[in-house]
A and B are shown apart, each in its own frame.
Chain A
Amino acid sequence: MDSKHILTIWKKELRDTVRDRRTLVSMILIPMLLMPVIMLGMFKFVSEQAARQQTQIAKISIVGGDYAPQLAEAIKSREGVEIAEVDVQNYKKSVAEGEVDAVVVIPEDFQNKIAGEKAVSLGLVSKSTNANASNALAAISSAVAAFNANLLEGRFAARDVNSDILSGVTVLPEDVATEQETGGFILAMLLPLLIVMWSIVGGQYTAIDVSAGEKERKTLEALLLTPVKRVDVVFGKFLAVSTVAIISVITAISSLYLSFSYAGDLGIPMEGGSGLSMGESGGSGLGFPIEPQVALLLFVVSLFLVLMFSAVILSISIYAKSFKEAQSYIGPAYIVVILPVALVNSVPGFESALWMFALPAVNAVLLFKELFMGAYDWGHISLTLFSLVIYSVIAILVAAKTYSKESVLFGD
């Protein structure tokens, strides 16, 4: 290998890339600006929707309210409740058609049963596909619970018995997760899949441009006519693709991390899947630093992911005669990689086995999750790095071999 030739090709491809507006947009602008806007926008939208849901007025009807005026009053006086009248004969239809969110049906013998200290069942009609039904049910349940508490207190008082007898066992939850662990949990949900995606997407445009693009522009033959060895041509292009991809990944991760860190200052609460939340209004977002060793491991693993995917995309792209054709080849390949990765990332409490840390891309997602949660399993780390190095080397050799095939280069 001639390092001078490799350097010349590397520099030229990078210069060409920087002059291509489309690559700059996909490599810098989108990860730097658009992705944080989308991610934070998503969080803000979800939290606003949840808040709106909670404050939405529940429309409730009471059928047979005269049989239990106190209970009816308890329901009416709940915050966020509006009482509506319905046709008593067709109250189910009213619920089905969305005129009301729920109907409470009080039986005629309510007072008799209460007086006789017998159990009473209330009918509660709602439609599960109505987004506001849960608010209505919550308001009714709360009113019934309060009514029950009053009722039982009265009964115990009549018997000269302390109503604390009902307390039994209570639960006092205590969360020992540190701020770091909570932040790590949120990062572990969001970043691993994004890092893997950007390892592919970040250099994709450049990979296609330097391979299929050269063929399409009819400059490839001139390049192959120079005294540069085939393997040096491949290596120079591969380095250019990897450089662009790693810059894109670093930009994406840094931008997202900074956005999440300052989300609280923007009034955007960051919520985890288990109801964990960080940085509610007035807070400072994630607000914890990533440890240097974690950052280093993230970088090294991301680097090898980038090297592997850069070589793979380069090998695939050279088969195509045009940019468009190359994109059509890479699309299915992208899905093959992302599907298992998305699965591993999305399944809550996914149990990983050691062999999974030898699967490309899947191993990176699993490792990133562990690192963000503060878990350092050196077996997992070693296996991930070792396997990614092997895959990278294989991918580069395949790319070099592909560039030697006359049928691929000249397929005419």
Chain B
Amino acid sequence: MSIMETLLKVQNLVKEYKNGFRAVDDVSFEVGAGEIFGLLGPNGAGKTTIIRAISTILSFSGGKIEVLVKDNRQYAEEVRSDIGVLTTDIGAYERFTGKENLEYFGELYGLSSSELDKRIKELTELLDMGSFIDKKAAKYSTGMKQRLAIARSVIHDPKVIIFDEPTSGLDVLSSQTVRDFMSHSRESGHAVVFSTHQMYDAEKLCNRVIIIHKGKKIAYDSVENLKVQTGERDLEEAFLKLVRGGEI
């Protein structure tokens, strides 16, 4: 698959806390339009820190991040308009319906009423939310909340989409809906960053991956190349080898 323009560029990213702990240590990668890029690593590797730094809600100590060529420190609000992030916090406003939740966020992203109506219809169909979108979020199952959270994160149709554990806690059907959505986003020319523990999903969906361990990059290549370089049959085995053995 040919990769188009670079939409997200992370250069030499460092996040060091006051106590000297480096959560992210000199990480660089790029994500282009029309690809799903895997951000992989064990728990505590620094993946969420990287995502928060990209999305401007966490400051960072060194390096540079550009979204659609804009420096995310100088143009923080604009960058947040250009990205959509699904975090692991999938809470919703429970006294509101799913639709009202989406309308609220749509307004905050600056969508007009007509744009919002159209977009909500589109996402309701894509994420199969028709049966519950008009119900109060208090009654939602985990799967429904996850799909609503995905819709909320992309309500403004951003060019760069970051998914942090999007299939976590979902049943098989809901997981497939989410995977289909990510594929659809790629095909529509979006740059998708996919952070996950599920190596099976990563192998199926990702064009390229970066593997982070203890804040450092230990691998950065296509899935196929990683399997070849590690001599392993699947990405999970390759991942384990790399995490235990170190950088390639």
One of A86-94, A118-126, A167-175, A213-221 at the interface: A213-221
Q: Is the CB of A16 within 8 A of B89?
A: no
**How many chain A residues have a CB neighbour from B under 8 Å?**
24
B-chain residues with CB within 8 Å of residue A227 when the two chains form the complex: 77-78, 80-81, 108-110
Closest CB in chain A relative to B144 CB, distance in Å: 15
Closest CB in chain B relative to A229 CB, distance in Å: 6
**How many chain B residues have a CB neighbour from A under 8 Å?**
28
Question: Closest chain A residue to B136 by CB distance?
Answer: A19
- Partner among A9, A217, A224, A229 whose Cβ is within 8 Å of the Cβ of B94: A217
Closest CB in chain A relative to B125 CB, distance in Å: 22
Q: Is the CB of B108 within 8 A of A226?
A: yes
Q: A16 CA to B95 CA in the complex, in Å?
A: 7
One of B1-9, B52-60, B219-227 at the interface: B52-60
In the assembled complex, B91 has its CB within 8 A of some CB on chain A: yes
Q: A219 CA to B91 CA in the complex, in Å?
A: 5
Q: Is the CB of B104 within 8 A of A8?
A: yes
Q: Is the CB of B89 within 8 A of A222?
A: yes
In the assembled complex, A44 has its CB within 8 A of some CB on chain B: no
A219 touching B78 in the complex, CB below 8 Å, given contacts A224-B57, A226-B108: no
Q: A224 CA to B85 CA in the complex, in Å?
A: 11
Question: Closest chain B residue to A12 by CB distance?
Answer: B104
A226 touching B105 in the complex, CB below 8 Å, given contacts A16-B93, A16-B96: yes
In the assembled complex, B149 has its CB within 8 A of some CB on chain A: yes
Q: A227 CA to B57 CA in the complex, in Å?
A: 11
Question: Closest chain B residue to A404 by CB distance?
Answer: B59
B-chain residues with CB within 8 Å of residue A5 when the two chains form the complex: 108
In the assembled complex, B185 has its CB within 8 A of some CB on chain A: no
B-chain residues with CB within 8 Å of residue A228 when the two chains form the complex: 77, 108
Task: List residues 70-86 of chain B with CB under 8 A from any CB of chain A.
Answer: 77-78, 80-81, 85
In the assembled complex, A225 has its CB within 8 A of some CB on chain B: yes
A-chain residues with CB within 8 Å of residue B105 when the two chains form the complex: 222, 226
- Partner among A218, A219, A225 whose Cβ is within 8 Å of the Cβ of B55: A225
Q: A130 CA to B192 CA in the complex, in Å?
A: 83
In terms of DSSP, what is the predominant structure of the interface of chain A? helix
In the assembled complex, A406 has its CB within 8 A of some CB on chain B: yes
In the assembled complex, A410 has its CB within 8 A of some CB on chain B: yes
A222 touching B152 in the complex, CB below 8 Å, given contacts A217-B91, A217-B93: yes
- Partner among B81, B95, B96, B153 whose Cβ is within 8 Å of the Cβ of A222: B153
Question: Closest chain B residue to A18 by CB distance?
Answer: B95
Q: A83 CA to B153 CA in the complex, in Å?
A: 87
In the assembled complex, B92 has its CB within 8 A of some CB on chain A: yes
B-chain residues with CB within 8 Å of residue A229 when the two chains form the complex: 77
Question: Closest chain B residue to A5 by CB distance?
Answer: B108
Q: A220 CA to B107 CA in the complex, in Å?
A: 16
Q: Is the CB of B108 within 8 A of A219?
A: no
Q: Mark A109-147, 1 if CB is under 8 A from B, else 0.
A: 000000000000000000000000000000000000000
Q: Is the CB of A410 within 8 A of B58?
A: yes
A-chain residues with CB within 8 Å of residue B110 when the two chains form the complex: 227
Q: Is the CB of A8 within 8 A of B107?
A: yes
Closest CB in chain B relative to A213 CB, distance in Å: 10
- Partner among B59, B80, B92, B153 whose Cβ is within 8 Å of the Cβ of A219: B92
- Partner among B58, B90, B109, B153 whose Cβ is within 8 Å of the Cβ of A218: B90
In the assembled complex, B87 has its CB within 8 A of some CB on chain A: yes
A-B contact list, 24 entries, CB within 8 Å = A5-B108, A8-B104, A12-B93, A16-B95, A16-B96, A217-B91, A217-B94, A219-B89, A219-B91, A219-B92, A220-B89, A221-B57, A222-B87, A222-B105, A222-B153, A225-B55, A225-B57, A227-B77, A227-B80, A227-B108, A227-B110, A228-B77, A229-B77, A410-B52
- Give 10 new A-B contacts, CB below 8 A, not counting A221-B87, A224-B57, A225-B55: A20-B95, A217-B94, A222-B87, A225-B57, A225-B80, A225-B153, A226-B108, A228-B108, A409-B57, A410-B52
* Top-5 shortest CB links A-B: A218-B91, A218-B89, A19-B95, A226-B108, A217-B91
